[in-house]
Structure formats: C-alpha cells, structure tokens
C-alpha cells in the first residue's frame, strides 16, 4: 500500500550543464519505473532539471529550505523560491547539514513546518553515528530526532511527508547497513511515528533507507517490509547506476 520512492541526492555536484546531461540520460532509463522517482539537486540546478524533467515521471527536489518566508536570511532559499523554479520535494535535516552546518532537531522542525505549509514535500532525514550505534544508542537517537522533527506538527499536515533513515556511518563509506539493520531501525522509526500520530498514518507514511545504497544491494534492502525506498547519494550521480537502483525489481532498462 506504500508506493516505493527512490530519490537521488546529488549533494554539491553538477553544474547546470552537467545536471542537464544527467537528467536527460536518466529520463528514458526510468520511464517505466514502478517506484516514484525523485532527484534532489543543488539549488542552482533545480530550474534546469525541472525543465528537462517536465512531463516525465521524475519529480525534482532541493536539499534544504529556509524556515522563514523571506527577509534578512543571507544565504538561505525560501520555499516560494523553490516552488518558483519547479521543486516538489525538499530534503531536510540531512546528516551533512547537521554535522557541518549546525542543523539541529529544532531547525529541522522549523524547516519542515515551512516546507509543508508551502506545499513542498519534505524528506526528513534521521540517523545515528557509528559511536552511537556501537554504544547501543541507535533507538534513542532516532527516536529523539523523529520527535524533534515533528514537534508541534499536526497530523493533518503530514500527508506528503517522507522520512529517510540514514545511518551516518553508512553514508559515502561503501559500508551499507545490512538489510536486517535497515529493516530493524526503519520499523522502529515507524513505531515512534505511530506513537505520535497513530498506526493508520504510520502505515501510510513512507520511510526510506539511505547510505551506500547501490544496484548491488537495492533489491535486498527493498525486500524488507518496512523499507519503502532509498535516498541515494553517490550512485545517483550516474544515470545507469541510479536507474538500476530505481528498477531494482529487474525491469528492463
Ligand atoms: P551515499 O549513497 O553516497 O552513501 O549517500 C547517501 C546519502 O547521504 C543520501 O542522502
């Protein structure tokens, strides 16, 4: 009942020229995909990629959004600006933003509210570090990140929310969580979400796995009952590779 959603996170890669080449190569490779397909691209490439993806089954997203409508927030990009250039999704609270740019559960919450109020679909990222996992803190950490992200957000606002479980130790390391580890923590995240909003909404809400997901491990990760998709970094930067993840069920590509 939950349609799988495979999203690429291009991170800080691709000029507009590179972005156009990548999206143009990707379009035919995923045209028959069963999952929902999203690419979250740098701000500067959103308009280019959205134009190239118009009329296709690929939705475009950004990688952050300001929590205010407008004003004196140097360096920030508002939800209205993102919608203006064709963004439908936005990643919020990626671990790289938490680690390098001071993002906290409180700012994730503010950004999520702003995205939802403006009709952007947020992909809210949570995940533990290696130390936290080794200390047995995974559930405590993801639980407090989920509770923090959704603080004060009413149930009626959550129809289009996606959660991404991205263990920090698996991001860009080539060290994927096992399918069992992914399932266990994704299921736990759904349980926390259910404790906040009830089982019915939790059963409808998609939770992705992210962290070194690639064509070789996608099918196994996606076979797990609670894993509803992937948030793909490195493997989303090459059209053929990303298409293989999207078509993890083995559709002809
Ligand atoms: P990698 O797929 O490169 O590990 O990145 C995962 C990620 O951070 C997606 O948001």
For 45-99, write each residue's pLDDT tens digit.
999 999 999 999 999 999 999 999 999 999 999 999 999 999 999 999 999 999 9
Cα-to-centroid distance, 10 and ligand 1 (Å): 9
- Domains located in the chain, CATH noted: 5-119+133-234+242-250 (3.20.20.70)
| Contact predicate 245/213, CB 8 Å | yes
Predicted local distance difference test score (pLDDT) of residue 252? 42
Which among 152, 111, 127 has a CA at the least distance from the CA of 233? 127
Which residues 6+ apart lie within 8 Å of 202 measured at CB? Answer: 190, 191, 193, 194
Strand ranges in 1-82 using DSSP code E only, listed in sequence order:
5-9, 36-40, 58-62
Predicted local distance difference test score (pLDDT) of residue 176? 87
Q: Which of 94, 96, 103, 128 is catalytic?
A: 94
Q: Give me the residues of the chain with pLDDT under 70, please.
A: 251-253
Which among 163, 145, 75 has a CA at the least distance from the CA of 104? 145
Question: Does residue 94 line the site of ligand 1, with CB under 6 A?
Answer: yes
| Contact predicate 17/242, CB 8 Å | no
3-state class (DSSP) for residue 1: coil
Predicted local distance difference test score (pLDDT) of residue 18? 98
Q: Among the atoms of ligand 1, which is closest to the Cα of residue 94?
A: 10
Predicted local distance difference test score (pLDDT) of residue 253? 42
Q: Among the atoms of ligand 1, which is closest to the Cα of residue 174?
A: 4
């Amino acid at each position: 009942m939950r349609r799988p959603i495979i999203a690429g996170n291009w991170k800080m890669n691709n000029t507009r020229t590179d972005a156009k080449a990548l999206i143009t190569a990707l379009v035919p490779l995923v045209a028959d995909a069963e999952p929902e397909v999203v690419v979250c691209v740098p701000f500067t490439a959103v308009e280019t990629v959205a134009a190239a993806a118009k009329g296709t089954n690929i939705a475009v997203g950004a990688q952050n959004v300001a929590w205010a409508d407008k004003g004196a927030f140097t360096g920030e990009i508002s939800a209205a600006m993102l919608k203006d250039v064709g963004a439908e999704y936005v990643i919020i609270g990626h671990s790289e933003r938490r680690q390098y740019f001071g993002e906290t559960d409180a700012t994730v919450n503010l950004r999520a509210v702003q995205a939802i109020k403006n009709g952007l679909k947020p992909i809210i990222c949570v995940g533990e570090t290696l130390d936290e996992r080794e200390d047995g803190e995974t559930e405590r950490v993801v639980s407090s990140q989920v509770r923090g992200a959704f603080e004060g957000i009413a149930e009626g606002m959550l129809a289009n929310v996606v959660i991404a479980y991205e263990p920090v130790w698996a991001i860009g390391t080539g060290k994927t969580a096992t399918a069992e580890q992914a399932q266990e923590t994704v299921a736990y995240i759904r349980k926390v979400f259910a404790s906040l909003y009830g089982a019915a909404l939790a059963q409808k809400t998609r939770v992705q796995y992210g962290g070194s997901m690639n064509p070789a491990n996608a099918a196994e990760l996606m076979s797990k009952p609670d894993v509803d998709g992937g948030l793909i970094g490195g493997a989303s930067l090459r059209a053929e590779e990303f298409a293989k993840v999207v078509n993890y069920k083995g559709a002809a590509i």
